[in-house]
């Protein structure tokens, strides 16, 4: 098909959030211009485009939560808000000349590996194309999760998810039910509490909340960061270093986290004077087991007279009445779900069909697993950014994304060195070895031992999301592709392409 031929690219990147844009910059820096970024929406930004709820901000300091190759001396605050982060990503898109590569309104409907042609066939909402390599940068926070609540369909009021905020809907004077107490909900609660008539918070599990050391970044600091870039770099290094030092408490010695629990408990007690409310807000698991939340305004908002706390999940909806799992009944005009995302069951996995004719979701039915967070067995030349076990509890995901971009860059270099039409397919035993190591280390972490249920764990209770080490270690382990962990695929003369060379063969060819 001539049309198909014209639409072949070397690399197709899915998504234009931090991961997808980072990949695009990296490809260009690598001298690769034959690539597209497929984006389902009509602007860039990923989760920072979709999450525009009141109070939305990042709880990682901006000088760390940004690309090392695109520093921003102008960050307005320690913890910048969503509009600034989204604007930053728009600027990155322009400064690095990425727009010509981006195809908006091109949701990927299906990807299929063609083992004869050694390329991916991609069907999008905006036509088809083929690509040698696919980089999936859809992220873990892209598809909202709304629990299946009996009666919700017949609720006569307004319903929306935190990541799909309806700015047209006037909350003022309404009785609003907020479902969930995760990172999103605790930012929404203080932002909407002053305007709603009644706010009822459905808390299934109490979160640990620490003070948020937020402040405006002064004009002098900004000037210094612009004129003396070393000050900006030093600031980033310091923020990074502090977080690296904290890692061992999360991954090896959760007993050391007692002091942090004490600080969080005091933080709560300062704002909450009612002993019954204090008791209801006190978590019953080790701090860090779920993501630690940062807020100076959450507890004071809960102490306001127009706020009620229901200490159970939402179980049923009957007309305007919301029924908690503890039997409590509340009337509401609007329900806001802060119930998180499809993290361990990434929807893109259902749309990717690999070398065996099975989907990634089928291959991952017992849990996600990839080599070095990037390559799943049976899915040649398909790399995931923020793939399995690359998540962090206490630092910046941008560091992990950049480590994975190093891996992507080396992957493409290796393909070049191998020459001709080639693909790399992660060896199942290499994927197993990597995951055995990860799961072995996971046993000691606070996420597995802290006595909570969290989105780090999948339906089988396996932690397939978090990285049980420092970002520095992950960076070292993903600096280069080890060809011994891959099978090199080349087209067979005749029809079917199959695994014709081992990595040893490939190295011999390179040496020759």
SS (H, E, C) 26-87: HHHHCCCCCEEEECCCCCCCCHHHHCCCCCCECCCCCCCCCCCCCCCCCCCECCCEHHHHHH
CA distance 108 to 482: 30
Contact status: 205 vs ligand NAP (CB under 6 A): yes
- Residue span 259-298 as binding mask against ligand NAP, x where in contact by CB under 6 A, dash where not: --------------------------------x-------
Q: Cα-Cα-Cα-Cα dihedral of 255, 257, 263, 269, to 10°?
A: -60
Contact status: 177 vs ligand NAP (CB under 6 A): no
Tell me if 120 sits within 8 A of 13, measured CB to CB.
no
Residue matched to tokens 């984006």: 39
CA distance 33 to 184: 37
CA distance 133 to 423: 8
Considering only 35, 48, 155, 202, the residue that binds ligand NAP (CB under 6 A) is 202
In whole angstroms, the minimum distance from the beta carbon of 258 to ligand NAP comes to 21
In whole angstroms, the minimum distance from the beta carbon of 379 to ligand NAP comes to 26
In whole angstroms, the minimum distance from the beta carbon of 209 to ligand NAP comes to 12
Tell me if 69 sits within 8 A of 59, measured CB to CB.
no
CA distance 449 to 289: 8
Q: Which residues, listed in sequence order, are joined to residue 11 by a DSSP beta bridge?
A: 35, 133
In whole angstroms, the minimum distance from the beta carbon of 458 to ligand NAP comes to 13
The stretch among 117-125, 176-184, 241-249, 492-500 that binds ligand NAP (CB under 6 A) is 176-184
The stretch among 175-183, 193-201, 350-358, 501-509 that binds ligand NAP (CB under 6 A) is 175-183
In whole angstroms, the minimum distance from the beta carbon of 469 to ligand NAP comes to 18
Considering only 28, 164, 204, 507, the residue that binds ligand NAP (CB under 6 A) is 204
Contact status: 251 vs ligand NAP (CB under 6 A): no
Nearest alpha carbon to residue 41 among 145, 164, 206: 164
φ, ψ of residue 79 in degrees (nearest 5): -115, 95
Residue 120 or 337: the one with the smaller Cβ distance to ligand NAP is 337
Contact status: 316 vs ligand NAP (CB under 6 A): no
CB within 8 Å of 38: residues ≥ 6 apart: 12, 13, 14, 15, 103, 106, 107, 108, 122, 124
In whole angstroms, the minimum distance from the beta carbon of 321 to ligand NAP comes to 15
Residue 35 or 337: the one with the smaller Cβ distance to ligand NAP is 337
Tell me if 165 sits within 8 A of 322, measured CB to CB.
no
Largest distance between two CA atoms of the chain: 78
- Residue span 128-147 as binding mask against ligand NAP, x where in contact by CB under 6 A, dash where not: -------------x-----x
Contact status: 54 vs ligand NAP (CB under 6 A): no
The stretch among 15-23, 177-185, 209-217, 278-286 that binds ligand NAP (CB under 6 A) is 177-185
**Binding footprint of ligand NAP, residue count (CB under 6 A):** 25
In whole angstroms, the minimum distance from the beta carbon of 337 to ligand NAP comes to 8
Considering only 313, 472, 499, 501, the residue that binds ligand NAP (CB under 6 A) is 313
Contact status: 308 vs ligand NAP (CB under 6 A): no
SS (H, E, C) 90-146: HHHHHHCCCHHHEECCCCEEEEEEECCCCEEEEEECCEEEEEEEEEECCCCCCCECC
Q: Give, as ranges, the residues between 142 and 171 that touch ligand NAP (CB under 6 A).
A: 147, 162
In whole angstroms, the minimum distance from the beta carbon of 54 to ligand NAP comes to 12
Residue matched to tokens 């190093």: 406
CB within 8 Å of 281: residues ≥ 6 apart: 203, 206, 268, 272, 299, 302, 309
Contact status: 314 vs ligand NAP (CB under 6 A): yes
Q: Cα-Cα-Cα-Cα dihedral of 226, 78, 29, 508, to 10°?
A: 130
Contact status: 180 vs ligand NAP (CB under 6 A): yes
In whole angstroms, the minimum distance from the beta carbon of 190 to ligand NAP comes to 13
Residue 298 or 341: the one with the smaller Cβ distance to ligand NAP is 341
Considering only 22, 115, 182, 469, the residue that binds ligand NAP (CB under 6 A) is 182
Q: Give, as ranges, the residues between 72 and 131 that touch ligand NAP (CB under 6 A).
A: none
Q: Give, as ranges, the residues between 325 and 384 that touch ligand NAP (CB under 6 A).
A: 338-341
Residues near ligand NAP (CB under 6 A) are: 57-60, 141, 147, 162, 179-185, 202, 204-205, 291, 313-314, 338-341, 455
């Amino acid at each position: 098909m001539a049309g198909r031929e014209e639409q072949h690219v070397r690399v197709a990147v899915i998504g234009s959030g931090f991961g997808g844009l980072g990949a695009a910059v990296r490809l260009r820096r690598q001298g690769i211009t034959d690539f597209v970024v497929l984006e389902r929406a009509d602007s860039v930004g990923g989760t920072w485009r979709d999450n525009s709820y009141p109070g939305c901000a990042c709880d990682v300091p901006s000088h760390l939560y940004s690309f090392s190759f695109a520093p921003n001396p102008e960050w307005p605050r320690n913890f910048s808000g969503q509009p600034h982060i989204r604007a930053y990503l728009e600027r990155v898109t322009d400064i690095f000349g990425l727009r010509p590569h981006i195809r908006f309104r091109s949701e990927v409907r299906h990807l299929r590996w063609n083992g004869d042609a050694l390329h991916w066939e991609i069907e999008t909402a905006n036509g088809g194309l083929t690509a040698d390599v696919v980089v999936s940068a859809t992220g873990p926070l892209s598809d909202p999760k709304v629990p299946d609540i009996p009666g919700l369909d017949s609720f006569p009021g307004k319903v929306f998810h935190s990541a799909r905020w309806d700015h047209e809907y006037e909350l003022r004077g309404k009785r609003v039910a907020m479902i969930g107490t995760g990172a999103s909900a605790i930012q929404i609660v203080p932002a909407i509490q002053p305007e709603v008539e009644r706010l009822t918070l459905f808390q299934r599990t109490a979160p640990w909340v620490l003070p948020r050391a937020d402040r405006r970044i002064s004009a002098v600091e900004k000037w210094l960061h612009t004129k003396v870039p070393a000050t900006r770099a030093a600031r980033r290094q310091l923020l990074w270093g502090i977080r690296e030092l904290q890692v061992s408490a999360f991954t090896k010695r959760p007993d050391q986290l007692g002091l942090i629990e004490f600080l969080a408990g005091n933080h709560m007690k300062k704002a909450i004077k009612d002993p019954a409310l204090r008791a209801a807000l006190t978590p019953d698991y080790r701090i860090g087991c779920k993501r630690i939340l940062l807020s100076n305004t959450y507890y004071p908002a809960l102490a306001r007279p127009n706020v009620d706390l229901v200490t159970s999940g939402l179980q049923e909806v009957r007309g305007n009445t919301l029924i908690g799992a503890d039997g409590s009944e509340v009337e509401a005009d609007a329900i806001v779900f802060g119930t998180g995302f499809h993290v361990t069951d990434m929807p893109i996995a259902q749309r990717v069909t690999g070398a065996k004719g099975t989907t990634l979701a089928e291959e991952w039915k017992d849990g996600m697993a990839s080599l070095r967070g990037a390559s799943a067995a049976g899915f040649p030349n398909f790399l995931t950014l923020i793939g399995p076990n690359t998540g962090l509890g206490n630092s910046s995901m941008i560091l992990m994304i950049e480590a994975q971009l190093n891996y992507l860059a080396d992957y493409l270099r290796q393909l070049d060195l191998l020459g001709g039409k080639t693909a790399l397919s992660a060896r199942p035993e290499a994927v197993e070895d990597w995951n055995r190591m990860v799961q072995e280390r996971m046993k000691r972490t606070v996420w597995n031992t802290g006595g909570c249920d969290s989105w780090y764990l999948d339906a089988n209770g396996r932690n397939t999301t978090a990285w049980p080490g420092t970002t520095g270690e992950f960076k070292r382990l993903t600096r280069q592709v080890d060809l011994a962990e891959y099978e090199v695929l080349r087209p067979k003369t005749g029809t079917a392409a199959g695994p014709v060379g081992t990595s040893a063969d490939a190295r011999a060819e390179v040496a020759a």
